[in-house]
Amino acid sequence: MATIIKFKVDGITDEMIVPSVNFGLNSSADVSNPTQEIDFQPISVSEFSFSILSPKPETTQKLLEWITNHEVKNEAKFSINKQAMTESAREIVLKEVCLTNYSESIEENFSSTHLSIVGRKVNIGDIEVDLSQNR
């Protein structure tokens, strides 16, 4: 059963197919003092790192403008769905999104663009992590 991942971002009309997306959540905990409660640090969310395959020229142009102009996009969304499943897609939504890495791989018969993005707020299903509260 294949998994289909689609990526959509404000200001770019092309819905992009993503072969895979990588990200993580992290929180450290201080367990060194046995007489005190465990002290958890705020949650941090890694960059979302992914590739898009053979983007349209207008999509490439918009992505280049996004990173070179230091734009903050309102929203970006990953929709993750099992191809043969009838259940609704899992959604990951980032708010106030910055493009932090852009790189291209161009070969004779294939091209891909690798991106990394971060958001001020990240919703993974019903869970929201507001990174602005971690200050």
The neighbouring-strand residues paired with 5 are 80
Q: Tell me if 97 is assigned to some domain.
A: yes
Count of domains forming the chain: 1
Tokens of 60: 């490439």
Residue 23: the pLDDT is 96
Instruction: Between 61 and 36, name the one with better pLDDT.
Output: 61
The domain that holds 116 is classified in CATH as 2.30.110.20
Contact 20, 50 (CB under 8 A): yes
Residue ranges making up the domain that contains 52: 3-23+41-134
Q: Tell me if 71 is assigned to some domain.
A: yes
Tokens of 62: 């918009």
Q: What tens digit of pLDDT does each residue of 4-53 get?
A: 899 999 999 888 999 999 999 998 888 888 888 888 888 999 999 999 98
Q: Tell me if 109 is assigned to some domain.
A: yes
CA distance 50 to 5: 10
Q: Tell me if 104 is assigned to some domain.
A: yes
CA distance 119 to 56: 24
Predicted TM-score of the model (pTM): 0.86
